Each structure stands twice: as structure tokens, then as C-alpha cells.
């Protein structure tokens, strides 16, 4: 079976669940989107099927965020993670296929993915911005704008553990080359109102290459559509109507004494 070379995040990035408020998604994995204060964004469900789950989340312009994933299975899984339709390791257009670059999680392991991988030891942070200023738009690609996608591929079961092919070191760098900045194209008015993910500040994030054989089909795909609050209000995803204040019987008088009600 064809070997797919993948990245596994360094151990110091691993964290355990706890302390964050908000919603999670997933049955084979647990997915959260955490803001720059470490709080999980609430999710607003929209459509659920057996293998694909869709939710909305509120984006706050300028805020950095991380994608938290915890493996709930007793086996290794490969995660194809795409933001705005671009694979977060390679930067290439993603179709969430099992032949793409992916992160690996051991059984019950968890990790945070904080940005676009630009080297074996660094990432550039995710942050919410206008669609026109996003990383994907820089390459003229707005075909999956505002979507954070996680496709989960369990490892093919084997009778015994197999070492990586000869000549491949487990510590060998497997990071994608940094992609040059592209010219920004024109966008529609609708795109300027949409949320996207920018190419933010550089951060240290070591990784290593491992051998991993993914199953042919994803066991689960989670799609998170993030939008500005005004957009979510307009779509009716969240209730944003200001409630009418209740009158105060002592404060809000009518001005003059009315005639008493008639008897009988």
C-alpha cells in the first residue's frame, strides 16, 4: 500500500481538554475553534449527516484563533485540515483527500493547530480578517472562503508495526516550502463583507515526518463556517433582535390622571 508521508506536531504543543467554554463537534475526534484567549467559540448547528457535520461559528475581526482537535479513537488518525479551502500544511487547494498532507494524532492524543505551516519549525498564525485580505484570496481562490474543514482518516490496521522506508529519518523535515506572496485580485462586494483567515505573525512550531497509511475514506468530516456576527444575524443563525424594554409602573407615567373606571 502506498505510503503517505505526513507531519506530526511536536509534543510540547499537546494539551488536554479543560478550562475552555463553548461547543465541540465530532464523534471520532473532538474539534474546537479557540480564540486568542483560549475560549472555544460556540457552534450553531445547521446540517448533520452520518459522515459530514456542518456548524456555524462567529468570527471576530482581527482575533487570532487555533484549531483544537482531540482523537477519541483507540487508533492513530490522520487529519486533513483546510482553512478557506487551502491545506494548512502545504498551502495548496484542498479537496480533503487522503493523498494530501496531514497531521497525525495517536490514540486519545490532542493538539492545537495555530497557523499555516511555513517550515518544519514554524507556522504563521491564523487570524480572522476580511475575505479579500485572506491567505486564500492572495492566490485568487475564494471557492471555499470562510470554512474550516477537518477530515479524519483512521490508519490502516496492520498485524505489526512497520518501520518507515529505508533512507527516511523520523526527524527529517517534511514542512512545505514557504509560498511567495501573490498579487491580490479584485473581489465582489459580497466577498468584502465575508470573513476569511489571514497569514499572521510567525511562531515557533517544530514538527517531524512519520509514515502513515490512511484508509481510503474519511470516517468523519467536520465543516465549520465562520462569519461576522452581522452576517449571522442577517442569516437568522443567531437571534440579534434587541428586546423591547418593559415599562416601569413608577417611572413611566402617562402625564395626567385618567378618569376612574365606571362601575357596573
Tens-level pLDDT at each residue, the chain (264 residues): 444 445 554 333 333 333 333 478 899 999 999 999 999 999 998 866 666 889 999 999 999 999 999 999 999 999 999 999 999 999 999 999 999 999 999 999 999 999 999 999 999 999 999 999 999 999 999 999 999 999 999 999 876 555 544 433 322 223 322 232 333 334 444 444 789 999 999 999 999 999 999 999 999 999 999 999 999 999 888 888 766 677 776 777 666 777 788 876
Phi, psi dihedral angles at 94 (to 5 degrees): -105, 140
Q: In the prediction, which pLDDT does 218 show?
A: 95
Q: In the prediction, which pLDDT does 258 show?
A: 73
Q: Identify the CA nearest to 94 among candidates 221, 226, 227.
A: 221
Phi, psi dihedral angles at 190 (to 5 degrees): -60, -40
Q: Which cell numbers hold the place of 79?
A: 487529519
> What three-state secondary structure class fits 229?
helix
pTM of the model: 0.74
Amino acid at each position: 500500500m502506498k505510503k503517505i508521508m505526513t507531519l506530526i506536531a511536536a509534543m510540547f504543543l499537546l494539551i488536554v481538554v479543560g478550562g475552555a467554554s463553548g461547543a465541540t463537534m465530532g464523534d471520532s475526534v473532538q474539534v474546537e475553534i479557540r480564540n486568542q484567549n483560549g475560549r472555544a467559540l460556540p457552534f450553531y448547528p445547521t446540517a448533520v449527516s452520518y459522515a459530514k457535520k456542518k456548524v456555524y461559528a462567529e468570527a471576530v475581526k482581527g482575533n487570532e484563533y487555533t484549531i483544537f482537535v482531540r482523537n477519541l479513537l483507540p487508533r492513530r488518525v490522520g487529519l486533513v485540515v483546510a482553512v478557506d479551502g487551502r491545506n494548512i500544511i502545504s498551502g495548496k487547494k484542498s479537496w480533503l483527500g487522503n493523498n494530501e498532507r496531514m497531521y497525525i494524532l495517536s490514540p486519545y492524543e490532542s493538539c492545537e493547530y495555530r497557523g499555516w505551516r511555513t517550515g518544519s519549525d514554524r507556522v504563521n498564525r491564523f487570524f480572522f480578517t476580511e475575505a479579500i485580505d485572506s491567505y486564500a484570496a492572495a492566490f485568487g481562490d475564494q471557492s471555499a472562503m470562510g470554512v474550516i474543514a477537518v477530515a479524519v482518516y483512521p490508519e490502516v490496521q496492520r498485524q505489526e508495526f512497520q518501520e518507515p522506508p529505508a533512507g527516511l529519518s523520523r526527524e527529517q523535515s517534511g514542512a512545505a516550502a514557504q509560498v511567495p506572496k501573490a498579487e491580490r485580485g479584485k473581489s465582489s462586494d459580497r466577498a468584502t463583507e465575508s470573513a476569511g483567515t489571514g497569514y499572521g505573525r510567525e511562531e515557533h512550531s517544530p514538527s517531524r515526518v512519520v509514515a502513515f497509511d490512511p484508509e481510503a475514506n474519511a470516517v468523519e468530516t467536520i465543516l465549520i463556517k465562520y462569519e461576522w456576527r452581522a452576517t449571522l444575524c442577517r442569516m437568522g443563525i443567531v437571534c440579534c433582535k434587541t428586546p423591547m424594554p418593559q415599562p416601569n409602573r413608577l417611572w413611566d407615567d402617562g402625564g395626567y390622571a385618567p378618569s376612574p373606571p365606571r362601575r357596573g
